[in-house]
């Protein structure tokens, strides 16, 4: 449910010898210059967060992928605690005693959710590849994903396993919130301080995922979307996808007598019918072939996976426990999160 976070705090008298390099920027107008120091870890192959320090303002910033930091997905509150403990320990090794990162000002937070949809990741992604949303700029993301951008918030849907070099099958939904978006959420949506601790509350992550997922149609009924059929045909037949789709269109229009319309040879139709039946695109009813609609299961967020079920007896209590405020927020979560039972 969480990926990259960035946080900043004020630290005086920091040992700058721990940094690996730096740069100086000069303002030609005023003649003033400012230094920026950085530490990006070692070359031993292990993951290391990006640490930046501005001596003039005594500002220390850390940016880290929580899953990479602790070597596992970060979903439940216990996962978050483990990841932040490791980040605190790493910073303490470099700079000695510092305030815990969960008290720092949050500059970025990525909320994520994944569904294992092998072998239909391409079919799911086809639904959103051409979706346009008012107020959002849509761009391609990676091989077959998509990202919608609005200021300092990016909403992404893509195949995470393929991005990581795998065969594909893990559908990833990600809402990346940068500085001004985090500030807006803390003030307007949640009425809380902009600390890492507050922004990593599970209810707030679930609310943002539910809100932005609904905005781009992630949880809509996609069972009859034509792009789903095309994606599945492409998975099975590759370059012959157009021929397979053509045969299905003829069978829908003319049934088993499609060859009599002089639009396809009888032998070609017979061969395709056998292939399409064996691959699950056709049903045989009373010795006749019928096109089987290629529906996909709807997507939902799940309280069990988030590790927050079992605390309360009602949605109002659950919402309060998760830090979700307002009637509209509770209603949205009830629609898009698997219901609390």
197/337 same-domain check: yes
Instruction: For residues 105 and 197, give the distance between their C-alpha atoms in angstroms, rounded to a whole number.
Output: 9
- In this structure, the number of other CB atoms found within 10 A of the CB of residue 229 comes to 22
User: Per the domain annotation, does 28 fall within a domain?
Assistant: yes
Which has more confidence, 107 or 274? 107
Taking only the tens place, the pLDDT of each residue in 121-173 is: 887 888 888 788 889 999 999 878 999 999 999 999 999 887 666 666 899 99
Instruction: For residues 23 and 247, give the distance between their C-alpha atoms in angstroms, rounded to a whole number.
Output: 63
- pTM of this prediction exceeds 0.85: no
Q: Is 143 helix (H, G, I), strand (E, B) or coil?
A: coil
Instruction: For residues 311 and 334, give the distance between their C-alpha atoms in angstroms, rounded to a whole number.
Output: 16
User: Per the domain annotation, does 306 fall within a domain?
Assistant: no
Q: Is 205 helix (H, G, I), strand (E, B) or coil?
A: helix
Which has more confidence, 225 or 190? 190
Structural domain span for residue 58: 1-103
pLDDT > 60? residue 262: yes
User: Per the domain annotation, does 246 fall within a domain?
Assistant: yes
E-state strands within the chain: 2-10, 21-26, 33-39, 50-54, 59-65, 105-116, 137-141, 145-150, 153-159, 170-177, 282-285, 288-291
Instruction: For residues 66 and 110, give the distance between their C-alpha atoms in angstroms, rounded to a whole number.
Output: 10
- The CATH number of the domain where 134 resides is what? 3.30.530
- What's the number of domains the chain is made of? 3
Which has more confidence, 298 or 310? 298
Mean pLDDT of 256-277: 88
Torsion of CA 158, 159, 163, 166, to 10 degrees: 180
6/96 same-domain check: yes
């Amino acid at each position: 449910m969480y990926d990259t976070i960035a946080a900043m705090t004020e630290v005086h008298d920091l040992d700058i010898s721990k940094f690996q390099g730096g740069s100086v920027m000069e303002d030609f107008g005023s003649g003033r210059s400012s230094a920026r120091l950085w530490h990006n870890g070692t070359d031993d192959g292990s993951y290391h967060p990006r640490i930046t320090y501005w001596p003039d303002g005594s500002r220390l910033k850390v940016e880290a992928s929580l899953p990479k930091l602790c070597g596992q997905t970060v979903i439940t509150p216990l996962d978050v605690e483990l990841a932040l403990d490791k980040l605190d320990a790493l910073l303490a090794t470099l700079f000695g005693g510092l305030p815990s990162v969960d008290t720092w000002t949050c500059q970025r937070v990525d909320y994520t959710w994944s569904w294992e949809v092998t072998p239909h990741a391409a079919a799911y992604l086809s639904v959103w590849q051409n979706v346009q949303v008012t107020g959002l700029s849509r761009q391609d993301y990676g091989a077959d994903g998509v990202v919608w951008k609005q200021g300092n918030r990016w909403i992404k849907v893509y195949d995470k396993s393929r991005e990581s070099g795998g065969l594909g099958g893990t559908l990833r939904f990600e809402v990346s919130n940068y500085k001004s978006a985090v500030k807006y959420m803390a003030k307007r949506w949640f009425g809380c301080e902009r600390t890492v601790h507050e922004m990593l509350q599970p209810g707030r992550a679930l609310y943002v995922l539910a809100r932005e997922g609904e905005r781009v149609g992630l949880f809509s009924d996609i069972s009859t979307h034509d792009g789903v059929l095309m994606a599945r045909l492409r998975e099975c037949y590759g370059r012959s996808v157009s021929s397979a789709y053509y045969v299905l269109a003829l069978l829908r229009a003319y049934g088993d007598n499609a060859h009599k319309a002089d639009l396809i040879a009888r032998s070609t139709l017979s061969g395709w019918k056998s292939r399409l039946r064996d691959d699950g695109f056709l049903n045989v009813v009373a010795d006749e072939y019928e096109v089987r609609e290629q529906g996909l299961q709807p997507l939902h967020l799940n309280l069990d996976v988030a590790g927050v079920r079992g605390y309360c007896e009602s949605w109002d209590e659950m919402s309060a426990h998760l830090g979700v405020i307002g009637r509209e927020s509770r209603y949205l979560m009830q629609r898009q999160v698997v219901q609390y039972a």
